[in-house]
Amino acid sequence: MDTVLSYIESNKERYLRELTDLLAIPSVSTNKENVQDMQRCAQWVADQMRSIGLQNVQIFPTAGHPIVYSEWLGAAGKPTVLLYGHYDVQPVEPLELWTSPPFQATVRGDNLYARGAADDKGQVFLHLKSIEAFLRNGGVLPVNIKMLIEGEEEIGSEHLEKFVADKKDLLKADLVLISDSSMFARGVPSICYGLRGLAYMQIDLVGPNRDLHSGSFGGTVHNPIQALTEIIAQLHDKHGRVTIPGFYREVLPLTKKERAAYKRLPWSDKKYAKDLGVKQLYGEKGFTTLERVWARPTLECNGIWGGFTGEGAKTVLPSRASAKVSMRLVPNQRSTKVGKLFESYIKRIAPKTVSVTVRTIHGGEPAITPIDSPGVQAAVAALEKGFGKNPLYQREGGSIPIVVQFKQLLGLDTVLLGFGLPDENSHAPDEFLDLNNFYCGIKTSAHFFNELPHFMAARRKP
Ligand SMILES: [Zn+2]
């Protein structure tokens, strides 16, 4: 390990130059005019893989942008890590808000500024460099590696699911490693082990068969807008809990260890409320803010419409009213089941004065990799060594659909080892990667590969 680490230390400048080359390719997956650049970027990644000693390097065409694959399977009897990332980036507009050109990586202070620096080229590249450090110093890795780098993450990974389903044998592994997320804060390495899912619904209410004059008809029929808001007002109780019967039945309770871990994170409700411009925070009673956003399910009305919303006045008693409602789900809730509970509850509480339709717009499942699992424990040990600091545990309130696909299609848990920062401007002008996270990230990656076999072996022992 010492040779590997000193190799990393003495090659920092070259790493930065190479990453700058990768960041210079405008691989904006959503732009038609960048189709050739997408090909060029896939080729760059494949060439890089070959040059550091990865084998079976292949560029798989898809109906969209290509997927790059490679492997190193020389560690017989050792675990196999499936490393996923993406080489495509978000568009750069508005250009005038960039301090330096988005495809000319520029160092300012402790940061490297460029589109894709953090999301996700920089984070893919740091793993390539740790793999290189092993293969150039002794020629072996402590684990087997399979790398899967796609070009359509920023446009919904449209062709990835089919690829993974078709290539189950090729992608066989023990766990998935993804570096495409952020740490809790600068200087606070953290490991994300849980994601929320989603059930997105629409409610449509119809009252009278046409819009009515509120003077001639007001007082005779139930206004659908009023009926709809009456329904929505019943979806939470006075403790901020969702009232749908059975909604919390499958919810995995927070463990003592988790609650203690969240308390250690640097956090201030006051600061958070001030930043959001609200006088007071709101949410389910009995849980802290971080617990509510990471480990508790929620229900939000995302939009509501009906009647007259133009300028001036129109005394209409509308025929229809609608709302979009989304529910964030936590392990072990299932989106279809929660969707059904929602639908039957809405139908039950809807007044007889209107007719109601409920439909599902889309859904996604929550995911969790237990904190005592060998993958998470290896990541914790790696962060500790790579950053010289005890990492903290966190979850994420949002979703990463690919994590659920890997679980469903390959049966694999994912370790999310993020080296970005919450304020890194991914998807915005002046995206940057903290250079300390970049260099410590390379070392952390090396430590992760080195530690994983020990934690996996310890798990196997009775
Ligand atoms: Zn990303």
Mean pLDDT by 10 residues, the chain (462 residues): 96 97 97 97 98 98 97 97 97 95 97 97 98 96 98 93 97 97 91 93 98 96 98 98 98 95 93 95 97 97 96 96 97 96 98 97 92 94 96 89 93 95 92 97 98 90 58
The contacts found for 222-227 with CB under 8 angstroms, 24 or more apart, are 222/351, 222/353, 222/354, 223/317, 223/318, 223/321, 224/306, 224/318, 224/319, 224/320, 224/321, 224/354, 225/306, 225/307, 225/318, 225/321, 227/321, 227/350, 227/351, 227/353, 227/354
197, amino acid identity: G
Q: Which two tokens stand for residue 335?
A: 């989106």
8 Å CB contact between 321 and 224: yes
Q: Output the CA–CA distances (angstroms, integers) from residue 82 to 118, 370, 452, 460, in the order listed.
A: 20, 18, 13, 20
Distance in angstroms (rounded) separating the CA atoms of residues 400 and 43: 26
Tell me which residue of 439, 454, 418, 361 sits closest to 183, measured CA to CA: 418
8 Å CB contact between 338 and 329: yes
Distance in angstroms (rounded) separating the CA atoms of residues 127 and 130: 5
Distance in angstroms (rounded) separating the CA atoms of residues 434 and 24: 18
Residue-level pLDDT at 360: 95
Residue-level pLDDT at 400: 83
Tell me which residue of 461, 448, 371 sits closest to 130, measured CA to CA: 448
Residue-level pLDDT at 462: 53
| Distance from residue 213's CA to the centre of ligand 1 (Å) | 52
Q: Where are the alpha helices (DSSP H) in 213-288?
A: 214-217, 224-233, 256-263, 269-276
Tell me which residue of 376, 394, 440, 456 sits closest to 178, measured CA to CA: 376
| Distance from residue 407's CA to the centre of ligand 1 (Å) | 19
8 Å CB contact between 347 and 204: no
Listed in order, strand segments (DSSP E) in 209-354 are 212-213, 298-306, 316-317, 320-329
| Distance from residue 182's CA to the centre of ligand 1 (Å) | 10
| Distance from residue 197's CA to the centre of ligand 1 (Å) | 18
114, amino acid identity: A
Tell me which residue of 42, 43, 44 sits closest to 29, measured CA to CA: 42
Distance in angstroms (rounded) separating the CA atoms of residues 445 and 448: 5
| Distance from residue 87's CA to the centre of ligand 1 (Å) | 9
Q: Which two tokens stand for residue 324?
A: 């979009």
| Distance from residue 209's CA to the centre of ligand 1 (Å) | 48
Q: Which two tokens stand for residue 247?
A: 């909604």
Q: What are phi and psi of 107, to 5 degrees?
A: -90, 125
Residue-level pLDDT at 399: 82
| Distance from residue 308's CA to the centre of ligand 1 (Å) | 41
| Residue 71 is among the residues annotated as catalytic for this protein | no
| Distance from residue 128's CA to the centre of ligand 1 (Å) | 17
Distance in angstroms (rounded) separating the CA atoms of residues 434 and 189: 12
pLDDT tens across 295-346, in order?
999 999 999 999 999 999 999 999 999 999 999 999 999 999 999 999 999 9
| Distance from residue 86's CA to the centre of ligand 1 (Å) | 7
Distance in angstroms (rounded) separating the CA atoms of residues 190 and 384: 10
Token pair 């990667």 in the structure block, residue = 433
Distance in angstroms (rounded) separating the CA atoms of residues 355 and 204: 8
| Distance from residue 431's CA to the centre of ligand 1 (Å) | 12
Residue-level pLDDT at 461: 62
Catalytic residue among 18, 37, 71, 88: 88
Q: Model pTM?
A: 0.89
List for the chain the helix, strand, coil content (%; round to 5). Answer: 35, 25, 40
Question: Kindly report the CA angle at 447 between 441 and 453, in degrees rounded to 5?
Answer: 140
Distance in angstroms (rounded) separating the CA atoms of residues 18 and 51: 12
pLDDT tens across 217-260, in order?
999 999 999 999 999 999 999 999 999 999 999 999 999 999 99
Whether the upstream peptide bond of residue 94 has omega within 30° of 0, thus cis, is yes
| Residue 88 is among the residues annotated as catalytic for this protein | yes
Catalytic residue among 152, 153, 258, 430: 153
Which residues, including other chains, have CB under 8 Å from residue 204's CB and lie 6 or more apart?
Answer: 320, 321, 322, 356, 357, 358, 359
8 Å CB contact between 254 and 288: no
Displacement of CA 387 from its chain's centroid (Å): 23
